[in-house]
Amino acid sequence: MPELISHDGDGGIAHCSRCGAVAVGPCARCRAPICGDCCVLTEGGASTWAICLACDDRGGRTLGGAWRGLVLWLVGILVVLLALVVGLGLLAR
Ligand SMILES: [Zn+2]
Ligand SMILES: [Zn+2]
């Protein structure tokens, strides 16, 4: 899982925010370093994310906030497209 490998390159090794073991990567939600034992994999659309157990307790295993944002974004695009179609229709008259 290459996305779990830290690319800090500063020589410092991140330690898990929960148990202090060497962290394998940041939590997808709170960015806290977590080890393999303290994270859960969650499905957030096309890719799988690792989130810490604290975030798992707080919000379940879905990236709800991110999905809500995506839906709002898509609705916004649809509204803009609808406005364009209506505008073009008025111009064509
Ligand atoms: Zn840990
Ligand atoms: Zn977290």
* Residue 15 per-residue DSSP state: B
Whole-structure pTM value: 0.47
Q: Return the bridge partners of 33, or none.
A: 26
Conformational region of residue 46, where left means phi above 0, alpha means psi within -120 to 50, and beta covers everything else: alpha
CB 17 within 8 A of CB 52: yes
Higher local confidence (pLDDT), 63 or 20: 20
Give the environment of ion ligand 2: residues with CB less than 5 A. 27, 29-30, 52, 55
- CA gap 54, 68 in Å, rounded: 21
* CA 46 – ligand 1 centroid, Å: 26
* CA 52 – ligand 1 centroid, Å: 9
pLDDT at 21: 92
* pLDDT over 90 at 8, yes or no: no
* pLDDT over 70 at 30, yes or no: yes
Higher local confidence (pLDDT), 41 or 43: 41
Residue 55 pLDDT level (bands cut at 50, 70, 90) = confident
* CA 93 – ligand 1 centroid, Å: 66
CB 34 within 8 A of CB 23: yes
